[in-house]
Structure 1
């Protein structure tokens, strides 16, 4: 443990699996007290137990971030209480990904995606950023996606919601940065915890990239530690691509 986030108080949404879990575990390993948030109490307890078993500090707060301001405010209030009165780092990670085509997307699905992926983090940030500023500063990290900037023929709805989060990152950096709250985003590539002997269906999307394959959630977690910590004190409003080069470079076969 290097202690890069020593005594920071952090809230990570969608922290019961994949990227969110990796971020919560890495934050705790770096000395932060982490609120693990998600819908499943069982999975939340599993993450918290794993963190505590390694000597870290973590608590679970159950939340269904349905896009309502009430749900976001309730999570903010409970997390602040659990963490002893304040939050230094917010990670807006929770999201849903329907891979439907545009003609196959109904209105209910459209509203659900924007509720979870955009409205929920919007109102959670609104609930926490002013208090962060009042306490002297903090860091907010949003999760974007490589598909927000490189078009693929499915999942247009999800892509657009992540594009919205990247836009909000820049707007919030301008709004809250002068008051001491740094706002940045991470844009992951295809990231998945590998299962031995099982090929992930999205592996083909990483062919022709410098990395040549899918990434592990820990890669995103390390990027989040950087953006949350003092080393990134001069970093505002960026979208950090952690995507194996998917959006920046093409590797041509010989």
Structure 2
């Protein structure tokens, strides 16, 4: 999708793309190596797109959520609780917390932010 949208935004001279990544892109985690690798590749691709399209007015950044509690996760409550128990926040994230980071990145307040990965992960990547 980005490969279609970004050139059109660049032609227009403005635009913002926020890639939704994962905390697992930066932290080793047993049994999910391929997932972690694809998330890391996605973050690198976003940085490359920032370098490619930024000079033409398109900002590309990544938001990397941690374990986030949503209604769809009802069956995984105990897994999510274990994942977040040792984090500085001590709890799962909420979808609206991830959305707030995205909203900030697409706002004019973040106009100077290019190629960044913003962890919205309760501190798991900082403390792990």
Q: TM-score, normalised by structure 1?
A: 0.47
- Counterpart of 1:214 in structure 2 is 92
Equivalent pair of 2:69/2:80 in contact (CA under 8 Å): no
- C-alpha separation between the residues in 2 aligned to 1:233 and 1:239? 15
Runs of 4+ in 1 over 2 A off after TM superposition: none
Which of 145, 169, 194 in structure 1 is aligned with 2:46? 169
Equivalent pair of 2:14/2:57 in contact (CA under 8 Å): yes
Output the aligned Cα RMSD.
Answer: 1.6
Q: Which residues in structure 2 correspond to 1:32-47 (within 5 Å)?
A: none
Q: Could you report, residue by residue, the CA deviation over 1:105-136 in whole angstroms, capped at 9, with x for unpaired residues?
A: xxxxxxxxxxxxxxxxxxx1111111101112
CA drift of 1:200 comes to 3.8
Gaps spanning 5+ residues in structure 1: where? 1-123
Which of 30, 49, 54 in structure 2 is aligned with 1:153? 30
- Counterpart of 1:190 in structure 2 is 67
Q: Which residues in structure 2 correspond to 1:102-141 (within 5 Å)?
A: 124-141=1-18
Q: TM-score, normalised by structure 2?
A: 0.91
Gaps spanning 5+ residues in structure 2: where? none
- Counterpart of 1:242 in structure 2 is 120
Equivalent pair of 1:143/1:162 in contact (CA under 8 Å): no
CA drift of 1:199 comes to 2.8
Instruction: State the SS of the aligned residue for 1:185.
Output: strand
Which of 205, 225, 233 in structure 1 is aligned with 2:83? 205
Instruction: State the SS of the aligned residue for 1:132.
Output: helix
- Counterpart of 1:15 in structure 2 is none
- C-alpha separation between the residues in 1 aligned to 2:87 and 2:41? 25
- Counterpart of 1:109 in structure 2 is none
CA drift of 1:138 comes to 0.2
- C-alpha separation between the residues in 1 aligned to 2:122 and 2:77? 18
Which structure's CA Rg is the greater one? 1
Which of 4, 14, 19 in structure 2 is aligned with 1:142? 19
Count of residues in correspondence between the two structures: 126
